[in-house]
Structure 1
Amino acid sequence: MTQPTKASVFFQTAYEGRYTWDANFPGYTADVQLIQGEEVYTGEIIINCDLSIKVTGIADEQIQEGIYIQLQDVVIHRQHSSFEQSHGKCEFILGETDATGAVEILVKSDTVDSYYKIREGKISQVRRAIARNAFVIDTHENFDTGAGYIPSRYDATFRNSKTDEVTSVLKFEDTYEKFGDYYLMTKQVVHEYQNSDRATTEFRYSNIRLLGPRT
């Protein structure tokens, strides 16, 4: 990366302040329960030390795939990657400061441009558009682990980038607890709004057990 700028310093501070699992993360197993209205599905999950995921015990393939995708999202955000690895080749451009004190930063890469807002040393918004799809993620609350922050209440708004029409809105409420040396998700509630339809999905993880030390 070239000489640091004010924009890159702002972004690096927020990026490195996130909570991630370290290189000694052993993986874990848990029972999972997915609740959608009157329907309840139960199964088991494994996240291995290499962050590979396995979901078993659920006969409905679509539900099982939904849990897998949800866990993929969890792993992506907890996986540790240095700032240099992730953003070392990016260009950072400082934008305006909004009424809440959040500073906008444009992060330009070879593949896609992303817009972020940084408030009080934390990422409070992400905006990105790929082809006809655009999304904005706004974080309203963070959970402070003492070793980094985790977004705990946030919204994702999806739009058609050509027409600016909102296609769906997802509202997330996440709960984390400490097991051994690691914070792991124990519950996620997702409220989905699409046109006039509303659906709520709840993921519950229990009987969480860390796997053995990495060898």
Structure 2
Amino acid sequence: MSETNNAREIFQSAYESRYTWDENFPGYTANLEIKQGDETYQGKVKVNPDLSVEISGIEDEKVRESVYNQMRDIITHRKRSTFAAAHGKNQFKLGEKDSTGAVEILVSGDAMGSNYKVRGQEITQVSRVMGPMAFTINTKESLDTGNGYVSTAYNAVFRDAKTNELKGKRDFEETYDKVGEYYLPSRQIIHAISKDGQTTTTEFNFSNLQLLEPAPVA
């Protein structure tokens, strides 16, 4: 029982040390430039206080949808949720400690079969299974905002859940700027590597980052 409690405490401490936007987050707007190979697109992004996303100025439907999905991925990690709401029903158990000092946290009760590694106050690895696909996310670098950490360099490895065959890999580099009281993404570079080694690089550059004005109270 003590090991179970210790595993929960370790994971909860790391979970609550992530940088997230608080309940007063006003939303923001930004200009966006996307580069992929010889192609460049310009547009605008608006993130509302409820964290819904609006993309404008990009005519190509596939590119617009890709930007929308990428923004949703970024925002998902900044959305605040209590530990009880996200993991209250799960059971935790300590696993092995690796050569870097990260300890494995084994989870039961999670629909996606998630397991983690925690080093210090940071979650450094997430492993999940979603249908036929298994993926592992490894954090390489992070930014300490003073109000929690945010990953700035990480990779995601995708494998067949049944055969463990490598399906692809993505390397991420992210930069954040502080605007007012909040850290907002200002750049993201994604190197998508196929299973046969072909690499496609996509760059998202956000400029003119501005927080939305809170609506006046009637």
**TM-score grouping bracket, smaller chain normalisation:** over 0.9
1:162 maps to what in 2? 162
Q: Secondary structure at the match of 2:114?
A: strand
Q: Distance in 1 between matches of 2:90 and 2:197?
A: 40
1:148 maps to what in 2? 148
| Superposition deviation, residue 110 in structure 1 | 4.9
Q: Distance in 2 between matches of 1:183 and 1:121?
A: 19
Deviations 1:168-198 (A, max 9, x none): 1000000001000100000000001102311
1:33 maps to what in 2? 33
Q: Which is further off, 170-179 or 58-67?
A: 58-67
2:190 maps to what in 1? 190
One-letter amino acid matched to 1:83: F
Verify the 8 A CA contact 1:114 1:128 in the aligned structure 2: yes
Verify the 8 A CA contact 1:106 1:113 in the aligned structure 2: no
One-letter amino acid matched to 2:79: Q
1:20 matched to 2:20? The reply is yes
Q: Distance in 2 between matches of 1:79 and 1:109?
A: 22
TM-score for both structures, normalised by structure 2: 0.95
| Superposition deviation, residue 4 in structure 1 | 7.0
Q: Distance in 1 between matches of 2:67 and 2:204?
A: 8
Q: Secondary structure at the match of 2:7?
A: helix
Matches within 5 A, 1:1-215: 5-194=5-194, 195-214=196-215, 215=217
Q: Distance in 1 between matches of 2:4 and 2:148?
A: 23
Q: Secondary structure at the match of 1:59?
A: coil
Q: Distance in 1 between matches of 2:165 and 2:4?
A: 37
Identity %: 47
| Superposition deviation, residue 112 in structure 1 | 2.6
Deviations 1:114-170 (A, max 9, x none): 110001110000111123100000000001101000000000000011111111100
Question: Gaps spanning 5+ residues in structure 1: where?
Answer: none
One-letter amino acid matched to 1:206: S
| Superposition deviation, residue 75 in structure 1 | 1.0
- C-alpha RMSD of the superposition: 1.3
| Superposition deviation, residue 21 in structure 1 | 0.2
TM-score for both structures, normalised by structure 1: 0.96
Verify the 8 A CA contact 2:4 2:91 in the aligned structure 1: no
Q: Distance in 2 between matches of 1:110 and 1:38?
A: 42
Q: Distance in 2 between matches of 1:41 and 1:184?
A: 21
| Superposition deviation, residue 207 in structure 1 | 0.8
One-letter amino acid matched to 1:121: Q
Moved over 2 A (4+): none
Question: Gaps spanning 5+ residues in structure 2: where?
Answer: none
